[in-house]
Structure 1
Amino acid sequence: MQVVDVWTGRHANALRTALRLTNESFAQTLGTATRTVAKWNAEPDLVPVTELQRALDTALQRASQEAVARFVSLLKNHPVPNSMSSTGIVRQAGFDRKSENAEYRLLYDADIGQILSWLDDQVGWSVGQARQKVGAALSAMEVCRFQDLAHGRGRVSQRRISDALASYYGDVGKGFDLYRTESADVRAMTSILTRREWLDLAMPLGVGRDDLRLRWDHRLPVASLDGVGADAAVRRIAEALALGGKIADTPIYRLLDIDVSKRGIRGDVGLSDFVGYALTVDLLENELVDALAAGRSVRPGRMPLRDQRLPTYESVVEIGERICCGGVLALFAAARPATRRRPQGDYVLLIQQRSGQVLNAARRLAVIPKSFHEPISDFADDAQLASTLMREMEEELFGRAEVDSTSTLPRRADPLHPSRLSPPMRWLSERAFGESSWRLEATGFGLNLVSGNFEVASLVLIEDETWWAEFGGCIEANWESHGLRQYSSLDHSALSHLIGDPSWSNEGLFAFLQGLRRLSVIGGGRVDLPSIDLGI
């Protein structure tokens, strides 16, 4: 009997073709949505969720001998290297699919090739030396070792991370403090460095008050890498390959200066590249969490990457002197009508558990959408914060793969043109922001001590309950999420317990708490929220 180790969109599409089924018929066979089957064609490397893996196994087992032969033939004729031929993809038990895929990507993935070339240039290695070092790291530290590291990080609580950073940096002063809340239900502290005037903004986005200007003439600082930094970068690439993480050298915005108040968020951004961020300051997160997981000291002088790149509070707040990337993340809340089980209308709150494929806050709780602030087509106009939120709603909630910056699909000139919007987003776009239909608001701003990122906490609030009734079933998280959770805004006990969950990311908890504070003001009879008092 033929067995597929890990189903991807490519395998699923080959099986559908071999069975001579349409997308609709194949979806019915598997018990999923037609749009899910269509996404496998658009994203051949997409790995379906566990339930669909089992459904695909069953479909293959039930296939006729002729269909199985066509399936194997389709994979065999697919233009991939010999090491990834159908005899390697479809195998008897015991084949190490992840190791094989890592080696394949190291040799043939164009994005990985660009990243390796960047690393050669920054360190001063000869061409191909980065590839050799990553290959050696994959050989020396097998996939299971990287998996053990990832699981170890997941056992380090959000509070241990924030406490360790508070201890590392010491007293703050100068009007800054770490974001923390107090209530009768639960206390929380995060690694978000903020100011009182940066909180509870209640500032509408997308109406001219989020005014970030792109400075084309600002030169990108050279990302220097010493021996320790180069070794850490090699391990980061090897780990991403071994665990199936997505990494692409795409442009992102770098914050140069910022002015935040209830009147607006104004400032300047420059263009940076994601690899320059991912292989430098973003390495600080794993250095910190790995040390905590292993019980090592995180004092100054014991954290070589942090000691070099983000050693003091002053270095954190001097955003124009370093690589300060970051993004926008929002608590998503949609009004629901009363039902027999819920006699009172409420808001459904969506929380995600991040997947192991993401580079930031992997396997941790976060609000959704959550994204790096980055351009997609119009670099100047996309600098507005609302542009990132709208794009991420399309990608992370409404299934628009072509607006994913890591996608290898051809780019449209205007992927967010009204004619291309998903039905849920089209409904929203046809209604102006406001109290009657929906709101898009910034609720807070801060700098995350984990990697020095800027974080714009936001709230997406859909107040017309007909939207959820019509489109709630269309919401489907993308590859960045391991799963979605629903919470009712009337479930005081569950929300109190959620606030204290140790698996939060620091920025996720920041956005969640700020979103709840805003909802407590405007939610009316639809909310019964824990009291959340600022401790700053």
Structure 2
Amino acid sequence: MSPAGGWTGRTAVALQSALRLSQERFAEHLGISARTVASWHKKPDLRPQSEMQQVLDTAHERASEAERARFAELIGEGPAVDTTDADGRLAADPHIGAALEWLDRHAHWTPGTARRAVAERVASVDVQDLHDRGTRRGWVSQRDVAEALATYYGSRLDDHGLYTARCGELAMNTSVLTCADWLDLDCELRPPHDRFRVPSAQPEADLDLDDHAAGRAVQRLAETLSMNTRLTDSPIYRLTSTDIREHQLGGTFGMSQFVHYALTVDLLEGELVDAVATGSTAMPLRDRYLPDLRSVLDVGDRLCAGGVLALTAIARPADPYRGEADYLLLVLERSGHVLNAARRLAVIPKGFHQPFTDIRRDAQVGMTLRREMEEELFGRPDIDNTLGDMLAADPLHPTKLTEPMSWLMAEAGRLRMECTGFGLNLVSGNYEFASLIVIDDEEFWARYGGVVEANWESATLRQYSTTDAELVTELLGDVAWSNEGLFAMTQGLRRLAEIGGERVKLPEIEWEISQ
């Protein structure tokens, strides 16, 4: 029911919050000016005229049952919500606490507002609904996502376009925006080729969240708690400029925090997939944070986070059951407990580009890739910052390496790491360094094949052979890939075909950039 005694500025704003609309969107929804909505925010005791009362009555009547229930709670007419359990969980997690503080500051709320909002939302979250939504999201394929983003943005700006790989008759469109200079880089991931700089460790400028953006951030935190998803606030690199070409990775990084990413641009993926699943075209967060291709390419004026992912190829000798000598390829299905690309296929390792303890040295892309090998392939728990604080002065010091990594680093030539391509993923605007890890010495698999094991980020780990053209081609056509995973897979296979000799017997893969 609409508020007893009629509408005021306060209750009109409560209806806006219950509908989870920005001031501009709420004005469009009611068919009135944005100035009128702004006046309700400034004058909560203002009583609109009778015509406006009717407009608000109609909007309330047309709201869904869930939206009306939220409205009733906001104006104090709904059932009391027990937030005791939620408050306890909120108080116990320092990373959630950091996110709440960040949200209060950037939404310009008084301290404690975000905590109360998240606690109330947690108490009303239906976990089964979240599981059902996860199932619906899983039905949206990589091709659906790529097509939706091509429709939203178009496919080209100047010399940048969307990456497509072709394997025979199979065309693999992606959401990765790239250009010819960013592909087939043949760039070793070590100095002097890997040469990104961090001019300053100062964080980026403040961001102002509107009502809708703040509401979605509250929902993300409530769902994170309800689903026991890991959220770790730690420093991450933000890309500010690029100088990337064959044999060279160059440019600059600035610094940000993971909660900034998790509560802003990382929400674009879920919004997009939900829109595709329901046939909707409304994506207000995308309209705000990443509205066009020019904003995607203008990395210095936005939060452009991202990371490194690599196709791993390990040499194996001939085998009487498997056949001739080959490379083992590793592919994982990501766990439902990760914040992004959940339940999607990806190459392994894959990780956020972020510093350990030395902000400037750790800006090398190869440093992140070696860390991810230790964590995701060789099971080293102390290097996983989601499990605890990083206390070691040098986590990749030779004395701390696992036995497999120590063996690889003991002699030059045992471990080859290259960047094969670079792009900006339209899903969330992330930068992606597609890479290739090659271990050519067959002795490695004989010694350490039994200890290669994916970590908690993986639901399953699959292996493929570079001599099995049929299965690898089927894999490339799987619609469960993440876009960045498919990008790294195809670019890695192209490079592996050039350097792998008789171990690689796969169909030719070509790339093209959309016109």
TM-score (norm 1): 0.78
**1:118 paired to 2:102:** yes
Q: In the aligned structure 2, how far is the partner of 1:282 from the partner of 1:118?
A: 15
**Residue 456 (structure 1) aligned with residue 456 (structure 2):** no
In 2, Cα distance between the equivalents of 1:261 and 1:336? Answer: 32
Which residue pairs with 1:209 in the alignment?
193
Change (3 A) 1:112 1:200: same
Distance 2:169 2:428 in 1: 30
In structure 2, relative to structure 1, the CA distance for the partners of 1:100 and 1:291 (3 Å cut) is farther
- 2:396 aligns with 416
> How many Å apart are 1:410 and its aligned residue?
5.3
Structure 1 residue corresponding to 2:123, chosen from 106, 116, 139? 139
Max Rg structure: 2
User: CA shift at 1:377, angstroms?
Assistant: 1.2
Distance in 2, matches of 1:188 and 1:102, equals: 44
Q: Which residue of 2 aligns with 1:322?
A: 302
% identical aligned pairs: 51
TM-aligned CA deviation for residue 294 of structure 1: 1.7
- Equivalent in the alignment of 1:274: 258
Of residues 198, 216, 226, the one that matches 2:182 is 198
Contact 1:335 1:465 in 2 (8 A): yes
Q: What per-residue deviation string (whole Å, max 9, x for no partner) do you get for residues 119-163 of structure 1? A: 111112222221221122222222111112222111100000000
**508, 511, 514: which is aligned to 1:531?**
508
Q: Which amino acid aligns with 1:205?
A: L
> Is 1:516 aligned to residue 493 of structure 2?
yes
Q: Distance in 1 between matches of 2:84 and 2:488?
A: 39
CA distance in 2, matches of 1:100, 1:152: 31
Q: Could you tell me which residue of structure 1 aligns to residue 334 of structure 2?
A: 354
- Cα distance in 2, alignment partners of residues 191 and 184 from structure 1: 21
Out of 282, 289, 295, the position equivalent to 1:309 is 289
Amino acid at match of 2:503: R
Letter in structure 2 aligned against 1:365: L
Residue type of the alignment partner of 1:518: R
Residue 233 (structure 1) aligned to one of 217, 231, 241: 217
* 1:14-413 equivalences in 2 (<5 Å): 104-216=88-200, 219-297=203-281, 302-409=282-389, 411-413=391-393
Gaps of 5+ in 2: 1-82
8 Å contact from structure 1 (residues 223, 280) kept in 2: no
CA distance 1:171–1:391, change in 2 (3 Å): closer
Following the alignment from structure 1 to structure 2, what is the Cα–Cα distance between the partners of residues 136 and 129?
11
**Residue 336 to residue 101, structure 1, CA distance change in 2 (3 Å):** farther
Give how far 1:217 is off: 5.8
SS in 2 for 1:187: strand
Alignment partners' CA distance in 1, 2:396 and 2:175:
34
Distance 1:100 1:295 in 2: 38
Quick check: 1:326–1:455 contact (8 Å CA) kept in 2?
yes
Q: Which amino acid aligns with 1:527?
A: V
Aligned residues: 431
Q: Using structure 2 for the length normalisation, give the TM-score.
A: 0.81
Change (3 A) 1:171 1:418: closer
Q: Deviations over 1:409-442 (max 9, x none)?
A: 451111111111001100111122x3xx231000
Contact 1:120 1:126 in 2 (8 A): yes
Match of 1:504 among 444, 457, 481: 481
1:478 corresponds in structure 2 to 455
CA distance in 2, matches of 1:245, 1:322: 26
1:103 shift after superposition: 6.5
1:492 and 2:469 equivalent? yes
Residue deviations 1:344-391, cap 9 Å, x none? 111100001111111110110001110110001111100000000000
Q: Structure 1 residue 102: deviation in Å?
A: 6.7
Structure 2 Cα separation of the partners of residues 504 and 525 of structure 1? 27
Q: Which residue, out of 374, 396, 408, partners 1:428?
A: 408
Q: In structure 1, how many angstroms separate the alpha carbons of the residues matched to 2:84 and 2:472? A: 43
Q: 1:355 and 1:101, CA in 2 relative to 1: closer, same or farther beyond 3 A? A: farther
Give the corresponding residue for 1:81: none
Structure 1 letter corresponding to 2:365: L
Q: Report if aligned partners of 1:205, 1:441 keep a CA contact under 8 Å in 2.
A: yes
Give the C-alpha shift of residue 105 in structure 1.
3.1
Report the secondary structure of 1:519's partner residue: helix
Q: Deviations over 1:190-233 (max 9, x none)?
A: 00000011111111111321101012165512122111101110
Q: For residue 8 of structure 2, what is the aligned residue in structure 1?
A: none
Asked whether the 8 Å contact 2:236–2:255 carries over to 1, the reply is yes
Residue 450 of structure 1 and its aligned partner are, at CA, apart by 0.5
Question: Cα gap change, 1:101/1:292 in structure 2, threshold over 3 Å: closer, same or farther?
Answer: farther
